[in-house]
Structure 1
Amino acid sequence: TMDATKYNQILNYIHSNVYPDDFSNIMKHGLRRLSKKFTIDGGKLFFVGKGKKAEVIVAEEFAKQIFNQFHSSLIGGHSGITKTKKSIGSRFYWPNVTVDIEQWVEDVWKLLGVDLIGPLPTTPTGNKYILTATDYFSKWVEAFPLKTKTAAEVASRLLSMYLRHGSPKRVLSDQGREFVNQVSTEYSI
Structure 2
Amino acid sequence: MNENDKRRIRKRTDMFAIPEGKLYYKGGKSNKGENKLVITRDQKSSILKLCHIDNGCHMELQPVPIPTSTWKKIGIDLIGPYTNSAGEPISTESYRYVLTVIDYFSNYVKVFPLKRKQAPEVSGRLYDLFCRQGLPLELVSDNGGEFNSRLTASLQEQYGYRHILMTPYHPQSNGRCERYNQTLKSMLNKTVEEKASEWEKNCTKMCLCLQYL
TM-score by length of 1: 0.40
The higher-RCO structure (CA 8 Å, 6+ apart) is 2
TM-score by length of 2: 0.36
